[in-house]
Structure 1
Amino acid sequence: MKIGALLSGGKDSVFALHAVVASGHEVNCIGHISPEEGGEPDSEMYQSVATEGISLVAEALELPLFLQSSKSKSNCSTMDYKPSEGDEVEDLYLLLDRMKKEKQIEGICCGALLSDYQRIRVESVCNRLGLVSFAPIWQKDQKQYISDLNTLGFEVVIVKVAALGLNRKHVGKLLEDLTPTLLTLEEKYGVHPAGEGGEFESYVTDCPLYKKKIVLNETEIVLHSDDFSAPVYYLKIKSASLADKDSSGNEDFKALPQMQQYRSDEKAPVPVVAPTSIQSSSGRFLSISALSGENLAAALEQLNCKLRENKLNKADIVQVQLFLRDLSQFNTMNAAYSEFFKGEPSTPTRLCVEANLPVSQPFIMNVTAKRAQNSNSLKVTSRSNWACSVVGPYSQAVMADDDLYLSGIIGLRPMEHLLAAGASNQLRLACSHRDQLIDLMASRWPSRHQCMYSFITSKDIATSSSRLLSGDSLGSFSILVSCLPRGASVEIAARLSPSGWAHYCAAADTLLELKEIIAERKNEACQMLIFENEELRKESGEDTLETEIDYFNYLRNSSSVCKIPVAGIFCDKMKERSYAIVIEQLNKMNLEA
């Protein structure tokens, strides 16, 4: 892919450039935002110190440079950016628009490491321009990152300091020499060792991709703010030049261990459902199971009516489970789905699986909505080495009070957004993505209980899937289906909470055992998704759930149930089971139904 790189000249953006090159992309230009009238204005988006040295960075890289001036003014300060005339983000739009038109770039890479503010704004502009956003060092461990910079031969000069323990004497020093000091300050004062709290800024004078080295001939240290505990100093480059260097090893960095992580690696039966069931409690939650119809747009409008009836809105939807009769029709349905959530500040998580529905039933949808006291969603659209990015109208994760919902996760290589080779590699990658999301969203929980299961397209992967998904999960199993999104071999479904009773999944060998599980929830409002291994049930001679009408009587009227016959249900040691159930408890806050 042809990529343009946003460069400040600092370590983060230059390292990100190396990462996308190491992953096999072609970088054909760089872009830079500079302050309109020089100086060192405050900006949460752009580094302006040492901006006078950006032309030498472009020459050292032998890449064309696109410049855009900015007043560094922020008119939209909310985390979720909306286009605002005069905002500094609109300067970025003008820059990337020119780069796209003149160099035909397809994507942009930036050096966002921990800043959601910066990442979200770059993603917003890329989305408007139809560009793929790359943030290859997103969420990278800071200590490991500094170690990688030093090991790879990055010559990083500290050009600004603004933190307790850093002062004038540290300006102009090399990051490699200052690393011990930064690690000490981290222990003493909580300083971010990579400067992600604004503690310092940098300028790269040499790195593997530079064809020539940058030499700072004359500099001046300027006092910007005379704060008693943390004075702000920055380095003004008055004269600099390029010097020849041994470039024979310029491409060798791609083979180093620090860069390897950025390189490329290598039909379900027909659902039988209970009638649509809706439950609510004081307007706080809504569960709809088996929502269907001739087209998704009409069903979504029906959903919208139910939300309004229960004094909820689209932003309260936390998860959607979508079963399609034919995944080749996904794009058509996704267009309607996207239109439904268009303009919403947050979107629910989504799980999508193909099911062998009759022609008259192109889809079945289960929906859960909650009016949470505290809610936040995660939607990272930039490609990085951290975890798989979002490519549609859904969130990777939604935290609603103390419930964490994850979208269905498949084993895509995060930088290329391509499936890993082989089912085992896909499974390991999917588990890695899952762990990264959980660590970021639920790290505050001293203990957490996981309800996890997977969809697989071959029973050969069932054993390894169950082993990797078990851990501290309250029951886990693998459901055999015929097709998954993008032709994946495995898709992980997961929910978490501090309490194991809120989210629960289990497998059962007999109908009696399943009914006992359901009976335990008879005083609760729940959403239940039941998988039935029809072939195994028939062999056992048991009646169907529909024959055992009283199984619904165990539940409160506000509960909803969806039953899906499947080709196989596997647990540990390849044991095949007759039933599996996933339970979402909706009234755990003791609200009246």
Structure 2
Amino acid sequence: MPTSLNVIALISGGKDSFFSILHCLANGHRLVALANLHPPEGGDEDINSFMYQTVGSSLISLYGQALDVPLYRQEIRGSAVIHDRDYRQQQDDETEDLVPLLKQVMQHHPEANAVSTGAILSTYQRTRVENVALRLGLTPLSFLWQYPFLPPYLQSGLLADMHAVGQNSKIIKVASGGLDEGFLGENVADPRTVNRMKKALGRFSENGDGALVGEGGEFETLVVDGPSLLWKKGLQVQGEGEVVRQEGGTATWKAAMKLVEKDSDTITLQDLRKPPTFDTEFGRILRSQLQIPGATSLSERQSRPITLPLSRHFQHGRAVILSNITGKPHPDSSLARMSQSNIRLQLSNILFRLTKLLECYGMTANSITHCTLLLRDMKDFASINSLYAKFFDFTNPPSRVTVAVGDTLPAGLDVMLTAIVHSSDQPASRTGLHVQSQSYWAPANIGPYSQAISVPLGEGREVHIAGQIPLDPASMILYTEHGFRGEALLSLQHLSRIGRTQNVKWWNAGVAMIPTNVDARAQEECVTVAQAVWKAVHELPSDAENEDEEEVLDAWDRKNFSKAFDDTVARSSIPDYGVFEQQAQHGVKLRAPPCIVVEVDALPRYASIEWACTGLDVGALEQFCDGESPARDFVVRDLQKTFEYRVVEIPDEEVDTAQLLSQMQYGTLYASARFDWTDSTWFKRGIAWVPCKRVWGEQGREIKGVIVGRS
């Protein structure tokens, strides 16, 4: 069951913060207090804060009685010192004014353990609330995060949902962008107002930019009423109010309001629409009849340590690979292996060695892009994660994949770490996505790793994604509906949503990690299901899907605009086969990225599947596949041939795989317990390895290993 949280709601008076409260209630949480930051007394209430809505702040004091919930307020004393999108703690920044405010609330409500915010698309606001909340031990909740990019993929969907539950949010400020003072005082969620706004915004906004929900500052709102399950009284306007006009087409509506008794309504939390779990394309696959071929098996499963080179480091251009770093091994005794202090000591050794290696290359931990953390036993994860977190305690830590590999780990070792590092003359070129709020969008990373880290790659970018398991984003508990197919699809959807925010156009490969199952037949069924859903998600679109629909404009639009406002948000496809346009024009048969499945001992949260992928944001690519070779060499490269990615299977039969692997610059070898290689000279090229119990290549063929990397 999901954990019920006691929520402090940050409110500005605007539509989003109050609508977010309803979603907190709908997800089983309890509202304990309201909190608001207001401009200094006696000055202009609209201080144009980067962080907070302050227009209408003189009326905030009414909300405590309106909702019958304690309200706590404090003055804004700081200013926007840190202008970066991602926030780091900085004295005198206006973000820090949240700290004493929330501490005051927590002093009066010690049961409070969460804070909600109405952030929809603003990373600037979300990261600042998350930073403060986590410092104070509060769980951040942002149920509206990326809301327009969830089904039905309409900006107006948010407003329609507000209207359905009777939330009345009056427009109190317009700031050009097509909206004039004629909109002041209107209910922003009223369908008639929404239609007017669409037509007014048609000239000025682009598809998916959030204009219709005010994310670009086009307007501000003040909520005056809502469903009686939350609102005990309403706010009533006194008189007609006053319009204050400013420069640049900005206008503000100021009106006196009073609390009034309101009639009870029949609206319940069941009337509040929650976005469906699956995007349209993933839901279609969930309901479809997939072709699921059988998997081949080499032999009975076996578990034995895999001995390959440890603690290697290699540099290629701006990339440094610190592979399979280990600490001091313990004596291979059951007593030593049971000690959690021993694994913490090993990780401390690893992090010390990592620091020294980085110094040798003139780098710091902030340059690390991605980490692979291998454990012997998943029960040790919580113990060492706190130590790991202290080392990566900075904005946008590296993405991470964590698995337990059991006794395939070399004797005496309980933990290994591989780090991919990228140097840059311009630190800002390394960007990250680190969402730590619970929402409907994708799982929160409340921990020492980012969902994604993106670094330059030729004329494009290379995107490292954290391992994705099938967590329900809103509750952060494992999703178990629809069996293994549903779990595989949901974790793939997380990967896709994260990749879309990073403009990923192609995955170099899909690596599905599944835990050991005592039932070998069930294990092989998971292999085929994982590969089937990957193929279904990434198959080439049909010609019908590629046809552009003719745009339809009504008579009013044709007369007044060359293009009507497009309510739909733009969701790019992954993979984007358009990057292979040059080959397609020459009739080259394209194929989806390969999918590899590996068996390990256990996954985080003891999940049933974890996907690990690296994405490419590149304008044009070409692909080659030697499907007839036992190694099934699959290559993707840019047209300038500045980089090349390969997926090379290592079959059971004897082939000259060494020749293929000798071309690798760096990558990851997924080696099964059958893997036995005496000539390991190619590991000097920066090859990291993950010890697995079994490995399956394309079409469910069990193989000895597979390498995914750059050559």
Q: TM-score, normalised by structure 2?
A: 0.74
Per-residue CA deviations over 1:152-198 (Å, capped at 9, x if unaligned) read: 33222111100232122111112123212322344321171100000
Equivalent residue, structure 2, for 1:538: none
Q: Are the equivalent residues in 2 in contact too, given 1:289–1:527 (CA < 8 A)?
A: no
Q: Secondary structure at the match of 1:311?
A: coil
Verify: 1:293 aligned to 2:309, yes or no. Answer: no
For 1:527 and 1:126, the matched residues in 2 are separated by 37
Among 320, 327, 352, the alignment partner of 2:378 is 327
Verify: 1:207 aligned to 2:226, yes or no. Answer: yes
Among 73, 81, 85, the alignment partner of 2:79 is 73
Equivalent residue, structure 2, for 1:527: 667
1:557/1:116 CA distance change after superposition, 3 Å: same
For 2:684 and 2:705, the matched residues in 1 are separated by 22
1:302/1:436 CA distance change after superposition, 3 Å: same
Q: Count residues with an aligned counterpart.
A: 555
For 1:565 and 1:393, the matched residues in 2 are separated by 25
Q: Are the equivalent residues in 1 in contact too, given 2:670–2:695 (CA < 8 A)?
A: no
Among 154, 175, 179, the alignment partner of 2:194 is 179
Aligned-residue offset at 1:319:
1.0
Verify: 1:11 aligned to 2:66, yes or no. Answer: no
With 405-414 and 67-76 compared, the bigger mean Cα shift is at 67-76
Verify: 1:546 aligned to 2:677, yes or no. Answer: yes
Verify: 1:386 aligned to 2:425, yes or no. Answer: no
1:78/1:532 CA distance change after superposition, 3 Å: same
Q: Are the equivalent residues in 1 in contact too, given 2:507–2:613 (CA < 8 A)?
A: no
Equivalent residue, structure 2, for 1:537: none
For 1:73 and 1:222, the matched residues in 2 are separated by 27
Q: Secondary structure at the match of 1:32?
A: strand
For 1:43 and 1:11, the matched residues in 2 are separated by 18
Among 445, 452, 476, the alignment partner of 1:417 is 476
Equivalent residue, structure 1, for 2:114: 107
Q: Which amino acid aligns with 2:131?
A: S
For 2:479 and 2:392, the matched residues in 1 are separated by 30
Verify: 1:241 aligned to 2:259, yes or no. Answer: yes
1:402-551 aligned within 5 A: 402-421=461-480, 422-442=483-503, 447-457=505-515, 458=517, 459=523, 460-470=525-535, 471=538, 473-497=592-616, 498=618, 499=621, 500-501=636-637, 502-513=644-655, 515-516=656-657, 519-532=659-672, 534=674, 544-547=675-678, 549=679
Q: Which amino acid aligns with 1:220?
A: G
For 1:212 and 1:250, the matched residues in 2 are separated by 15
Verify: 1:578 aligned to 2:585, yes or no. Answer: no
Per-residue CA deviations over 1:25-82 (Å, capped at 9, x if unaligned) read: 1111111111112521111211111222223333232211111121462233333333
1:105/1:506 CA distance change after superposition, 3 Å: farther
Q: Are the equivalent residues in 2 in contact too, given 1:160–1:171 (CA < 8 A)?
A: yes
With 152-161 and 177-186 compared, the bigger mean Cα shift is at 177-186
Q: Secondary structure at the match of 2:35?
A: strand
Q: Are the equivalent residues in 2 in contact too, given 1:455–1:492 (CA < 8 A)?
A: yes
RMSD of aligned Cα (Å): 2.5
Aligned-residue offset at 1:199:
0.5
1:219/1:116 CA distance change after superposition, 3 Å: farther
Per-residue CA deviations over 1:308-366 (Å, capped at 9, x if unaligned) read: 21222212211111110122222232232222223x33311111111123561011222
Equivalent residue, structure 1, for 2:563: none
1:411/1:268 CA distance change after superposition, 3 Å: farther
Q: Are the equivalent residues in 2 in contact too, given 1:456–1:481 (CA < 8 A)?
A: yes
Aligned-residue offset at 1:127:
1.5
Aligned-residue offset at 1:507:
4.0
1:63/1:297 CA distance change after superposition, 3 Å: same
Equivalent residue, structure 1, for 2:416: 364
Q: Are the equivalent residues in 2 in contact too, given 1:476–1:505 (CA < 8 A)?
A: no
Q: Which amino acid aligns with 1:428?
A: L
1:258/1:394 CA distance change after superposition, 3 Å: closer
Among 111, 116, 125, the alignment partner of 2:123 is 116
Per-residue CA deviations over 1:210-244 (Å, capped at 9, x if unaligned) read: 233322123533425222xxx11112232323232
1:116/1:213 CA distance change after superposition, 3 Å: same
Q: Secondary structure at the match of 1:409?
A: coil
For 1:360 and 1:381, the matched residues in 2 are separated by 35
1:561/1:483 CA distance change after superposition, 3 Å: closer
Verify: 1:42 aligned to 2:55, yes or no. Answer: no
Equivalent residue, structure 1, for 2:178: 165
For 1:316 and 1:511, the matched residues in 2 are separated by 40
Q: Are the equivalent residues in 2 in contact too, given 1:456–1:490 (CA < 8 A)?
A: yes
1:556/1:290 CA distance change after superposition, 3 Å: closer
Q: Are the equivalent residues in 2 in contact too, given 1:80–1:345 (CA < 8 A)?
A: yes
Equivalent residue, structure 2, for 1:152: 165
For 2:603 and 2:477, the matched residues in 1 are separated by 14
Q: Are the equivalent residues in 2 in contact too, given 1:467–1:572 (CA < 8 A)?
A: no
For 1:296 and 1:480, the matched residues in 2 are separated by 24
Q: Which amino acid aligns with 2:261?
A: A
Q: Which amino acid aligns with 1:509?
A: P
Q: TM-score, normalised by structure 1?
A: 0.87
Aligned-residue offset at 1:510:
2.6
Q: Are the equivalent residues in 2 in contact too, given 1:353–1:485 (CA < 8 A)?
A: yes
Q: Which amino acid aligns with 2:375?
A: L
For 1:524 and 1:312, the matched residues in 2 are separated by 24
Equivalent residue, structure 1, for 2:568: none
Q: Are the equivalent residues in 1 in contact too, given 2:436–2:446 (CA < 8 A)?
A: yes
Q: Are the equivalent residues in 1 in contact too, given 2:179–2:201 (CA < 8 A)?
A: no
Equivalent residue, structure 2, for 1:136: 143
Equivalent residue, structure 2, for 1:272: 307
Q: Are the equivalent residues in 1 in contact too, given 2:78–2:92 (CA < 8 A)?
A: no
Equivalent residue, structure 1, for 2:35: 31
For 1:330 and 1:10, the matched residues in 2 are separated by 41
Verify: 1:397 aligned to 2:452, yes or no. Answer: yes
For 2:312 and 2:513, the matched residues in 1 are separated by 25
For 2:223 and 2:645, the matched residues in 1 are separated by 49
For 1:118 and 1:13, the matched residues in 2 are separated by 12
Aligned-residue offset at 1:276:
3.2
Among 557, 569, 590, the alignment partner of 2:695 is 569
1:488/1:255 CA distance change after superposition, 3 Å: farther
Aligned-residue offset at 1:533:
5.1
Verify: 1:53 aligned to 2:59, yes or no. Answer: yes
- The unaligned stretches of length 5 or more in structure 1 are 535-543, 589-593
For 2:226 and 2:645, the matched residues in 1 are separated by 49
- Give identity over the alignment, percent: 24
For 1:524 and 1:533, the matched residues in 2 are separated by 22
Q: Which amino acid aligns with 2:126?
A: R
Verify: 1:82 aligned to 2:141, yes or no. Answer: no
Q: Secondary structure at the match of 2:351?
A: helix
Per-residue CA deviations over 1:401-428 (Å, capped at 9, x if unaligned) read: 1111101111111122111125444323
Q: Are the equivalent residues in 1 in contact too, given 2:177–2:205 (CA < 8 A)?
A: no
- Following TM superposition, the consecutive aligned residue runs of length 4 or more in structure 1 with deviations greater than 6 angstroms are none
Q: Which amino acid aligns with 2:499?
A: I
Q: Secondary structure at the match of 2:104?
A: helix
Q: Are the equivalent residues in 2 in contact too, given 1:525–1:556 (CA < 8 A)?
A: no
For 2:607 and 2:260, the matched residues in 1 are separated by 49
1:345/1:136 CA distance change after superposition, 3 Å: same
Equivalent residue, structure 2, for 1:352: 402
Verify: 1:376 aligned to 2:431, yes or no. Answer: yes
